[in-house]
Chains A and B, each alone.
Chain A
Amino acid sequence: MVQTDKNIFKYSRRDFLQYFGPGAKGLLFMVVLHALLAGCMKDNELWKPGDAGQGDATQGVFVVNQGNFMYGNASLSWYDIQSKEVSQDVFFNANGFPLGDVAQSISLRDSLAYVVMNNSGKINVFHKETFEFAGKITGLTSPRHIHFLDDTRAYVTDLYARSIAIVNLQTMEVTGSIAVRNDESDFYQHSTEQMVQFGKFVFVNCWSYDNNVLVIDTETDQWIDTIEVLIQPVSMVLDKHNKLWVLSDGGFAGNPYGYEKPGLMRIDAQSREVEEVYRFPKESQPTMLAINDTADTLYYVNGHVYRHPVASEQAPELFVQSPYDDLASGGFRAIGIDPVSSEVYVSDAIDHVQPGLVYRFLPDASPVDTLRVGIIPGYFGFSD
């Protein structure tokens, strides 16, 4: 049955055994046995709750690590501001199951924390002091942020639903929605992002292939007005003078929706009129805007971290220089301001496939601490 090439010499079986010694059969047997016994993979070892590592301290910051799309490796790091200790994976360790896929943002209210899981279509709710799972809000298409209106009602923005979900916080159920369809556009509009409240109105920026900020009346749950801004508004805050600041990334080269210089825009929340526009170099990539607790100083990330007092007429000042030489392939990503101390936290996702870094600075920009967190740290939630 075995046909061999003619240039291969013929030997007898005895030659074979002499050649390799009698161990050959034994070796084969061992290999077979090993392979048979090796039939045990370690899936069960993954799923036991561990030590969430939280002490008595309740003043700290949650770092939301987005994780990679479809990897399900989103995680939550907890940083104790007093002791400077970091606990990784606190949600997984406290509960024995993962947060989900693509953690977008976190919002805290009373004793609970709400983590919006973009590609899991849900919001995981947990006790902010014990990290224990408290429930979930499901049935969301591609949720981005949650905004609390009162003890029972919240809005949830969405990338693909073309509506803003209305959620009952007591029952953790979706109770309604606000349609934000723009059927006149050739593009998929509106996908909704961050929310900022002014009186009874909520402003919502629309980032993806869009250049609008929507105005929602929270009494009627209706979309009542639209403000045109620079292309692709990524982030917004409201200052103490009731001015809405909108940071836009300007699109990208070849963007069918347009490509312009990124910029920061000041809008009067009352009149909804644009008052000021600060433009940045076209190739820059601004990512996130934040404001301190007294609502008088803006901070934003545009490769480096910049600071801009809201009353200033000057161009924004460089606050912290990025450690990267080439800003095209790295730089800071997210920013958070401690509402108590006004300290500044900035994240760096490095190559996006390894645990990232968070830098902590005093309000005068002097460094305090550097912490290693999870994959793609993209949002901060302060707990006091």
Chain B
Amino acid sequence: MAIRAIILLYLFVILYDVKGQGIRDSVFELPQVHVRAERIFEKESAGMRQTLIDSLTMQQKVNASLSELLSENTSVFIKNHGRGALATASFRGTAPSHTGVSWNGINISSPMTGMVDFALVPVYIMDEMHLKHGTASIADQAGGLGGSISISNRPDWDNTFSTHYTQGIGSYKTYKEYLKVEGGNQEVQLRTRAYHNQSENNYTFLNRAIADVEDGRVTHPVDTNTHADYKNYGLLQEVYLRPGGNHLVSARWWGQWAQRTLPRATSFEGPDNTNLNEQSSIDQRFVTDWTFFTGSGKWLVRSGYSNKSLDYFQKNRVPGVGLLPAVYSESTSHSYLNHAAYTHQVNEFFSLEGSLDVNYYDVDSRDSVSRAGFRVDRIEYSLFFALRHSFRDRLNVNLMVRQNHTDNAWDPIVPYAGFDLKISQRHNLILKGSVARNHHQPSLNDLYWQPGGNPDLLPEKGMAYELGLQHEQAFENLLLRNEITFYRSDVDDWIIWVPGFKGYWEPTNIKRVLSEGVEVHSLLEGKTAGIAWRTSATYALTRAVNYGDPLVWGDNSYGKQLVYIPRHSGNLLIHMAWRGFQVNWQHNSYSERYTTSSNDVSRRDWLYPYHMNNVSLGKAFSIGMMDFSARLKINNLFNESYHSVLYRPMPGRNYMLLLQAGF
């Protein structure tokens, strides 16, 4: 690995020198910054608050995971359990299972947990990402009480052949390799992406959870973050066909193998070869689409399959036996996902859409040590209908309704009514609003996990309201975009897992949660004296408050913010590019997070406000047909000691060098 990296570095240096001798100081306008202004006044998205992550941002984060992309660029809060470790999302103060995640239109949330580990989704496999905030997500699926995230791939029909290789070398023995080969013509396009990530993740930290007494003085050791290494390999294959002008056929397969060891508590002082935790997973996803355009209509037929195997074990050395698992949990899930939709443009102002989804899930989970486990399946139908009308380019109305049927019962109907009203033509100022109902089925683990699953759980039911202003204006060499949204979401029968008396956790419907807040997004970009620049900022105020019945007189959780949801969060991005040089500065802040439901804070469990600064510097250039770029990323610029979950110190200043070559 290291040798390969060094060879590449040499290659890079040599080529850079050649370039310095006067070969084509050319074109480099940044790696083609293709900023697509979001169309903000479309009847199909009336009332919906959406975020599009554009190609510039994607490019900057090509080596990152989805968790980093979301936390640094959107108002979605990511609870990160450590570098490379499990990362879950909270959209508008909701639970991780309330964010629907789809890849090319198929749901990739685990049917067992109902959620996605965002640390295991690399940005490299995405071409586009859309976020639908709140109940706008019912356009995609029911259950996204917080919102939905759609990741998609798209072909470049103009490409004939291109290939790019990226090598990343970073602190803590982190290596990243990415290879993309794509080619085709106007009728057929093939794209292949392969990647490999690995890290020893062996940063050092002052371990405050361990103390030694020397001469009456308490000292703390400098420890290495051991048992935290990770690696993963993946392959994405896409095939696109465009037979005739009216058909578009695609097939995509994404496979990934991932393994990580899970660090022990930092206070652990047991024997070295005990409490060893490891998790490995194999994911395969396949989806095929057929889109057929008629004169004023569009048919889409989609079929997908998703398979996940997840193994987790905890091993201890037992004298005379060797390493013996105390927990060995193996689970496999198969999801068969089918979707058929028809959209009809009656005229310029009026469209109709209908769709049917039929999904089947099969889950088998077992612990070979305790022998506890379950095997269940679930069949789910979802019928969707939408009617969109535009009134004289002034008012758009969007009415949607979704009806699900899960196993043997009808779910509550999910209606949505949204509007966009153009208040000012001159300033392109739009008032948006919506009201909707939503519900979320318990995941299969919630219902059947052994031990603890509760088959009597009720679905979570929510009512949501939102109102916002959106504005977009282009000046000479300047683009300004602002958006502010107020929302309120009231969820009944909220599911939480609480530890029971027999030493295991059990889910119950105990809470009513009221989540209210404001989301602000602002973007200003332009070009000054040849420097292309962009500033983008988001801010979210999130009040996610428990109004469940107190369990007992002394229950102080009523009226309090949910755990691990920051009240204030925000981020700021500043990007500048000039003749192939680029600088990127990213700031990210959260206010304190509570770890107790009563919002009690002691020094022992205080998660103080988080402020993080990351910088990257890069240069790109071309020699003949070849493109090259080099980028240095500096994370935790001010080398701060911090933790973002309790007693899990995070790395100090660290670096990543990315070298790319291709044509």
Name A's B-contacting residues (CB within 8 A).
1-5, 7-13, 15-16, 28, 31-32, 35-36, 38-47, 50, 68, 70-73, 75, 88-89, 92, 95-101, 117, 119-122, 133, 135-136, 138-142, 159-163, 177, 179, 181, 186-188, 208-209, 232, 249, 252-257, 285, 287, 323-324, 328-331, 333, 348-355, 357, 370, 372, 375-376
Query: Is B392 interfacial (CB 8 A cutoff)?
Result: no
Contact A73 B646 (CB under 8 A): yes
CA distance A50 to B611 in the complex (A): 26
- Across the A-B interface, give the 5 residue pairs with the lowest CB-CB distance, nearest first: A121-B270, A72-B647, A354-B598, A100-B267, A256-B371
**Which of B35-43, B236-244, B303-311 is found at the contact surface with chain A?**
B35-43
Enumerate chain A residues within 8 angstroms of B324, measured Cβ to Cβ. 162, 188
Enumerate chain A residues within 8 angstroms of B211, measured Cβ to Cβ. 95, 97, 133, 136
Enumerate chain A residues within 8 angstroms of B556, measured Cβ to Cβ. 354-355
Contact A139 B270 (CB under 8 A): yes
Contact A10 B475 (CB under 8 A): yes
Enumerate chain A residues within 8 angstroms of B326, measured Cβ to Cβ. 142, 159-160, 188
Enumerate chain B residues within 8 angstroms of A163, measured Cβ to Cβ. 318-319
From B314, B372, B554, contact of A348 by CB (8 A): B554
Contact B574 A32 (CB under 8 A): yes
Interface residues of B in 34-72 (CB under 8 A from A): 34-37, 39, 41
**Which of B98-106, B190-198, B338-346, B634-642 is found at the contact surface with chain A?**
B634-642
Query: Is B4 interfacial (CB 8 A cutoff)?
Result: no
How many Å from the CB of B446 to the closest CB on chain A?
15
- Given known contacts A1-B29, A7-B41, A252-B502, what 8 new A-B pairs fall within 8 Å (CB)? A2-B525, A31-B572, A35-B587, A89-B602, A119-B268, A161-B316, A161-B318, A329-B551
Could you pull out 27 A-B pairs where Cβ atoms are within 8 angstroms?
A2-B478, A2-B526, A3-B36, A4-B479, A5-B39, A7-B428, A8-B473, A10-B474, A13-B475, A41-B641, A50-B603, A75-B602, A96-B218, A99-B267, A101-B265, A133-B211, A141-B271, A160-B326, A252-B502, A256-B371, A287-B501, A353-B563, A353-B597, A354-B555, A354-B598, A375-B596, A375-B605
Contact B647 A181 (CB under 8 A): no
CA distance A32 to B583 in the complex (A): 15
CA distance A136 to B600 in the complex (A): 29
Query: Is B33 interfacial (CB 8 A cutoff)?
Result: yes
CA distance A159 to B327 in the complex (A): 12
CA distance A141 to B270 in the complex (A): 5
- Known contacts A50-B603, A375-B596; decide if A72 and B267 are in contact (CB<8 Å): yes
Could you tell me the dominant secondary structure of chain A's interface residues? Answer: loop
CB nearest to A350 among chain B residues: B555
Query: Is B451 interfacial (CB 8 A cutoff)?
Result: yes
Enumerate chain B residues within 8 angstroms of A45, measured Cβ to Cβ. 603, 608
- Is the interface on chain B under 10, 10 to 19, 20 to 34, or 35 or more residues? 35 or more
Contact B605 A41 (CB under 8 A): no
Contact A138 B605 (CB under 8 A): no
How would residues 540 to 579 of chain B score, 1 for a CB under 8 Å from any chain A CB and 0 otherwise? 0000000000011111110000010000000010100000
CA distance A208 to B372 in the complex (A): 13
Contact A41 B610 (CB under 8 A): yes
CA distance A232 to B602 in the complex (A): 36
From A50, A99, A117, A141, contact of B316 by CB (8 A): A141
CA distance A38 to B589 in the complex (A): 9
Enumerate chain A residues within 8 angstroms of B500, measured Cβ to Cβ. 285
CB nearest to A250 among chain B residues: B502
Enumerate chain A residues within 8 angstroms of B596, measured Cβ to Cβ. 353-355, 375
Enumerate chain A residues within 8 angstroms of B477, measured Cβ to Cβ. 2, 13
CB nearest to A20 among chain B residues: B480
Enumerate chain A residues within 8 angstroms of B110, measured Cβ to Cβ. none
Contact B275 A351 (CB under 8 A): no
Contact B604 A285 (CB under 8 A): no
From A40, A96, A177, contact of B611 by CB (8 A): A40
- With most chain A CB atoms within 10 A of its CB, the pick from B266, B326, B640, B645 is B326
From B480, B508, B605, contact of A16 by CB (8 A): B480
Contact A41 B642 (CB under 8 A): yes
Contact A351 B479 (CB under 8 A): no
Enumerate chain A residues within 8 angstroms of B608, measured Cβ to Cβ. 41-43, 45-46
Interface residues of B in 406-453 (CB under 8 A from A): 426, 428, 450-451
Query: Is B227 interfacial (CB 8 A cutoff)?
Result: no
Query: Is B269 interfacial (CB 8 A cutoff)?
Result: yes
Enumerate chain B residues within 8 angstroms of A7, measured Cβ to Cβ. 39, 41, 428
- Known contacts A10-B476, A120-B268, A352-B498; decide if A2 and B35 are in contact (CB<8 Å): yes
Query: Is B537 interfacial (CB 8 A cutoff)?
Result: yes
How many Å from the CB of B64 to the closest CB on chain A?
20
CB nearest to A96 among chain B residues: B218
CB nearest to A65 among chain B residues: B604
How many Å from the CB of A89 to the closest CB on chain B?
6
CA distance A348 to B265 in the complex (A): 25
Contact A4 B554 (CB under 8 A): no
Query: Is B320 interfacial (CB 8 A cutoff)?
Result: yes
How many Å from the CB of A8 to the closest CB on chain B?
5
CB nearest to B528 among chain A residues: A13
From B504, B597, B643, contact of A354 by CB (8 A): B597
Contact A141 B274 (CB under 8 A): yes
How many Å from the CB of A13 to the closest CB on chain B?
5
Enumerate chain A residues within 8 angstroms of B595, measured Cβ to Cβ. 68, 71, 73, 353
Contact B218 A95 (CB under 8 A): yes
Enumerate chain A residues within 8 angstroms of B319, measured Cβ to Cβ. 163, 177, 179
CB nearest to B270 among chain A residues: A121
How many Å from the CB of A283 to the closest CB on chain B?
12
From A254, A255, A323, A329, contact of B498 by CB (8 A): A329
How many Å from the CB of A124 to the closest CB on chain B?
9
Contact B428 A92 (CB under 8 A): no
From B474, B524, B572, B574, contact of A8 by CB (8 A): B474
Enumerate chain A residues within 8 angstroms of B479, measured Cβ to Cβ. 2, 4
CA distance A323 to B269 in the complex (A): 39
CA distance A39 to B39 in the complex (A): 36
How many Å from the CB of B187 to the closest CB on chain A?
27
Contact A3 B572 (CB under 8 A): no
Enumerate chain B residues within 8 angstroms of A136, measured Cβ to Cβ. 211, 269
Enumerate chain B residues within 8 angstroms of A256, measured Cβ to Cβ. 370-372
Enumerate chain A residues within 8 angstroms of B35, measured Cβ to Cβ. 1-3
Enumerate chain A residues within 8 angstroms of B428, measured Cβ to Cβ. 7-9
Contact A71 B318 (CB under 8 A): no
- Known contacts A73-B605, A352-B498; decide if A43 and B641 are in contact (CB<8 Å): yes
